[in-house]
Amino acid sequence: MNAFDVAWWGIAGTGGLYLLFYFMPYAQYYLPGSNLALSIALCLLVMLPLYALYASLASAMPRAGGDYVYQSRILHPAIGFAFPFSWFTVVWVCVFVAFGGYVVAALGLTPIFLLLGSLYSNSQMVALASYLQSSSGTFLVSVVVA
């Protein structure tokens, strides 16, 4: 593999082509009249140094690649372990807390309070169900669940 092949593999691996084909119809719908070709060209110019960096790193270390190897060989082995481990731990914990709070609020508490409020003709429970479905109610449930 030469650097050109690795650069195209990096573009495909970072989602460049996926974003182009998947989000193109949405961008045309939500941003009518926007110049998508110019937007894509500008984004490509901004991301080109990153693609070139990953291509050069993958060409320099073809058998043992990945962010851990790059960071541990360039910076320090402790940083190569600690940074990706802590980054993914924090990101995934935040994602699961946010998703768990949404599921508890939208699929658990809201239907319960809406059903009980309708069953017993209690407008307070219906209002609580409506609040829990809002963004601030979902945030509150996420904080309590966490």
From first to last of the 146 residues of the chain, give the pLDDT tens digit: 677 777 777 766 666 666 666 666 677 777 788 887 888 788 889 988 888 888 888 888 877 777 778 888 888 888 888 887 888 888 888 888 888 888 999 899 999 999 999 999 999 999 999 999 998 999 999 888 87
- Asked whether the whole model's pTM tops 0.75, one would answer no
pLDDT at 127: 95
pLDDT at 14: 66
């731990």: which residue's tokens?
89
C-alpha 134/C-alpha 139 separation (Å) is: 9
Domain boundaries, the chain: 1-65, 67-146
**CB distance 58 to 6 below 8 Å:** yes
pLDDT at 18: 64
C-alpha 84/C-alpha 14 separation (Å) is: 17
Q: Which residues lie below 8 Å from residue 129, measured CB to CB, with a gap of 6+?
A: 109, 110, 111, 112, 113, 114, 117
pLDDT at 94: 83
